[in-house]
Structure 1
Amino acid sequence: MTERRRVLLVAEAVSLAHVARPVVLASALAGDHEVTVASAPVFDLCFRGTGLARESLESIPAATFLQRLAAGAPLYTKAELERYVDEDVALLRRLRPDVVIGDFRLSLSVSARVAGIPYFALCNAHWSPWALHDRFPLPDISLTRVLGPRLAEPLFRLGQPIAFRLHAGPLNAMRRKFGLSTFPDVRYAYTDGDRTLYADTPALVPVRPECPAHHHYIGPIVWSPAMALPAWWTALPDGPLAYVTLGSTGRVDLLPELFRALEDCGVNAMTATAGRSDVASPGPHCFVADYLPGLEAAARSDFVICNGGSATVYQALSQGRPVIGVCSNMDQFLTMARVVDAGAGIALRAGTAGYEDLAEAIRRISGSTGAAFRDAARAVQADFLRHDAGEGIRRQIATL
């Protein structure tokens, strides 16, 4: 018989994905354990129909997070992390969970240790210091926008190790304050935990053999909102179909050019704006909603166009659909790098992608070369089917 545990999952609500993943895991654990999810009161769509117990916890505004990402600046200040630690510790001492699981709640690296609670860090393996592929792509930061990718690339290569150390600075200051060791760079901050749980598969995002034994793959965490289908769902025209969503962090200003490229390539589109754009349908080939059930939309489509983040990319691949990732931040480029390696998608740079780039990618993935992308996506789908993140997290809890 499974021993019933008190499990607290903490979501850093700066993007939909960081809330959705803890909700999926909490739902998998809820039948056997006493489960609570703590997050800021945004992205409530993730909780719809779950009945999960909730606690409110501060997060910086998503807009602030995105501005810092775009500037290539550290994502948190020391003052913000100090507030986070105080709030975390108060919550941990009040609830006294047997374990706390955090999704990008970097302050738990300090607060869980202060409160004496075992801490599981949920992350993607491409951030692991032991990732097999350890070359970091140039993101769309201020340097890239000013100089252009060709000139920015060599400067980024020179500055990246220093930048990674600087990004760890605010958390290191907090750790020193509490007598904890510091991190050599931000990868260690992102993956620090008493256990580190990779929401990937080792085939798609491998790590080196010397990766520590407390790092574990639990498998892709795939979430889709519980919601009614739009009225136009049964009225989609015949022909190739793309599911388009740029999520909570993508360049929604690219949607008009994307719609034009899809129309010119003879591809119909169903689009979820995540409530971030009031763009109207440009014609009978394109259907728009704030949100769509992503798994059903991906399954119905021939391919998916997204911001390259793992949430939608893994939705698409779980249904055997190839992906065009229109990427801005480092995390998106890293996710798509592995998808491109697998042959299951195409990565574009959002900062420079125009009509011609979008149209060429659409022609490649839907035209005569599309079969190779589809075959590769189905191979990744088969790999995903060998993993169950819900079962993976249950196993980790059982060994406490």
Structure 2
Amino acid sequence: MIILCIPYTHTLSHLSRPLVLAKELKSRGHEVIFAGESSNTAFIRQEGFSVLPVYEPDPEILFGNIRKGKLRFISNAEIEHMIEADLALYSVVKPDIVLTDGRFTAPISTHMAKIVHAAIVNASSTEYRALPYIPFFDWLHERLIKRDTRLWKILDQLNLRLEMLVFDNIMNIFKRLSKKHGLKKTITSTNCLTGKDITFLADIPEYFPTKNLPKDYYHIGPITWQSNLSPPAWWPPNARNQLIYITMGTTGLGDFFQLAYNLFQEGQYTCVMTTGRQSERMPTIPGHIYIEEYIDGDMVVKACDAVVCHGGNGTIYQALLHGKPIIGISTIPDQAYNMRRVESLRVGMSLSWKEFYTNPKMLLDTIHAVLANTYFAKNARQMQKILKTCRPAKTAADIMERYMKTKS
């Protein structure tokens, strides 16, 4: 097969998942070509894949809109521009199948080009999620309505329908384009990240439950990238105290790093912090705080006692794969949704960006609370046992090959 991968390369979470699957597909003899335009495409080239240019939305605008709570997260003109870029790319590559992660125009453009489309997505970004994305009724105290009652489940279902109705009608360009181009499956802002033909849910149902999944949706488990970065010269750290790993992905806020840096100079914990090039270089203080732009995350998570992150899906699963508890400081709704699950499963605690920014010391207090209560780590190890049974890249590659055989 000729497989064209189009991740949203500005964020490593959307880039790394198809990259892992691409390595599995390449090992089976398939040709895999990537497309993207950010500086992060260097990671793709390091793995031996070619990368063609393709237009991608500006992350400052996209994530800026999302952080501001704008349901119209991207303009109609941008969507039209992306579809044109998709179609131009398809005409050059002529792929048998397009694999995407974060490319919300692909379900429409692949229909227009009559190409098979598979997508990697989180269960939270589908209409089959079992839990509300924005909990409208959480203000109701549990003394009024217990969370395990039938009434609460009815409210959850009402919540889901309302949030999808509002979101899909505000961003109704997806519906209009679906009708214009005669799509069998109507694309909406709720399902625009899913696949036209195959959807891989990079989740386990124990973490993100779903309901009424169609037969072309598959739980494959989290796809985590095994970095080939060499350890820094200072590794392993001289950890005088418990070791904390801090990573804010590539959608974090630059202000965070200096505030966190100031906290960990005090020496209550030893810290390894990665900035993802989102902050000015800060000096390492041996024994207290170690700073890198990027690092082998698995190496650090395995050695640390807890992970502080932005609540990104990939980082949460990386922590749980090693049985480590999580402290999350979310900056966008997706991350807040993830952290509600972390708290519900009692594998970590959440801190809002406003709480941290107003009083950074709250981060140290939260870390202390998580490390002092052993049930967080115990529950994380239970999740680790489930995650160890997943073979996401192999499962996804098998499904793609079987599907394409039915088309030949």
Quickly name the TM-score band, shorter chain normalised: 0.7 to 0.9
Matching of residues 29-68 of structure 1 within 5 Å: 29-32=25-28, 33-68=30-65
Stretch moving more, 46-55 or 164-173: 164-173
1:316-341: CA deviations, max 9, x gaps?
A: 11111111110011111122222222
Could you tell me which amino acid in structure 1 is paired with residue 199 of structure 2? T
Query: Residue 227 of structure 1 corresponds to which residue in structure 2?
Result: 229
1:213-234: CA deviations, max 9, x gaps?
A: 1111111010143222222223
Could you tell me which amino acid in structure 1 is paired with residue 328 of structure 2? G
C-alpha distance in 2 between matches for 1:113 and 1:201? 29
Structure 1 residue 179: Cα displacement: 3.1
Query: Secondary structure of 2:393's match?
Result: helix
Stretch moving more, 103-112 or 227-236: 227-236
Stretch moving more, 300-309 or 264-273: 264-273
Could you tell me which amino acid in structure 2 is paired with residue 316 of structure 1? A
C-alpha distance in 1 between matches for 2:236 and 2:209? 40
C-alpha distance in 1 between matches for 2:365 and 2:173? 42
- Please tell me whether the aligned partners of residues 36 and 54 of structure 1 are also in contact (alpha carbons under 8 angstroms): yes
RMSD: 2.4
Stretch moving more, 17-26 or 41-50: 41-50
- Please tell me whether the aligned partners of residues 10 and 38 of structure 2 are also in contact (alpha carbons under 8 angstroms): no
Could you tell me which amino acid in structure 2 is paired with residue 360 of structure 1? D
Could you tell me which amino acid in structure 1 is paired with residue 302 of structure 2? A
Query: Secondary structure of 1:242's match?
Result: strand
**Correspondence for 1:249 among 238, 246, 251:** 251
Query: Secondary structure of 1:375's match?
Result: helix
**Correspondence for 1:362 among 367, 374, 378:** 367
Structure 1 residue 205: Cα displacement: 1.1
C-alpha distance in 2 between matches for 1:245 and 1:280? 15
Structure 1 residue 160: Cα displacement: 4.5
| TM-score scaled by length of structure 1 | 0.87
- Please tell me whether the aligned partners of residues 9 and 22 of structure 1 are also in contact (alpha carbons under 8 angstroms): yes
Identity of aligned residues (%): 25
Query: Residue 153 of structure 2 corresponds to which residue in structure 1?
Result: none
Structure 1 residue 127: Cα displacement: 2.1
C-alpha distance in 2 between matches for 1:157 and 1:121? 23
Query: Secondary structure of 2:328's match?
Result: strand
1:223-257: CA deviations, max 9, x gaps?
A: 14322222222342332000111121113312343
Query: Secondary structure of 1:244's match?
Result: strand
Query: Residue 337 of structure 1 corresponds to which residue in structure 2?
Result: 340
Query: Residue 303 of structure 2 corresponds to which residue in structure 1?
Result: 300
Structure 1 residue 268: Cα displacement: 0.7
- Please tell me whether the aligned partners of residues 165 and 184 of structure 1 are also in contact (alpha carbons under 8 angstroms): no
Could you tell me which amino acid in structure 1 is paired with residue 125 of structure 2? W
**Correspondence for 2:96 among 77, 98, 113:** 98
C-alpha distance in 1 between matches for 2:112 and 2:344? 41
Gapped runs of 5+ residues in structure 2? 137-158, 404-408
How many residues align structurally?
A: 376
C-alpha distance in 2 between matches for 1:158 and 1:379? 32
Query: Residue 149 of structure 1 corresponds to which residue in structure 2?
Result: none
Query: Residue 89 of structure 1 corresponds to which residue in structure 2?
Result: 87
Query: Residue 199 of structure 1 corresponds to which residue in structure 2?
Result: 202
Matching of residues 1-400 of structure 1 within 5 Å: 5-32=1-28, 33-73=30-70, 74-137=72-135, 160-161=163-164, 163-180=166-183, 183=186, 185-208=188-211, 210-262=212-264, 266-278=268-280, 280-281=282-283, 283-284=285-286, 285-353=288-356, 354-367=359-372, 369=373, 371-400=374-403
- Please tell me whether the aligned partners of residues 122 and 199 of structure 1 are also in contact (alpha carbons under 8 angstroms): yes
- Please tell me whether the aligned partners of residues 45 and 225 of structure 1 are also in contact (alpha carbons under 8 angstroms): no
C-alpha distance in 2 between matches for 1:128 and 1:316? 24
1:337-381: CA deviations, max 9, x gaps?
A: 2222222111221133232431221111122x1x21111111111
C-alpha distance in 1 between matches for 2:59 and 2:238? 33
Could you tell me which amino acid in structure 2 is paired with residue 68 of structure 1? N
| TM-score scaled by length of structure 2 | 0.85
Gapped runs of 5+ residues in structure 1? 139-155
Could you tell me which amino acid in structure 2 is paired with residue 225 of structure 1? S
Query: Secondary structure of 1:66's match?
Result: helix
C-alpha distance in 1 between matches for 2:120 and 2:190? 13
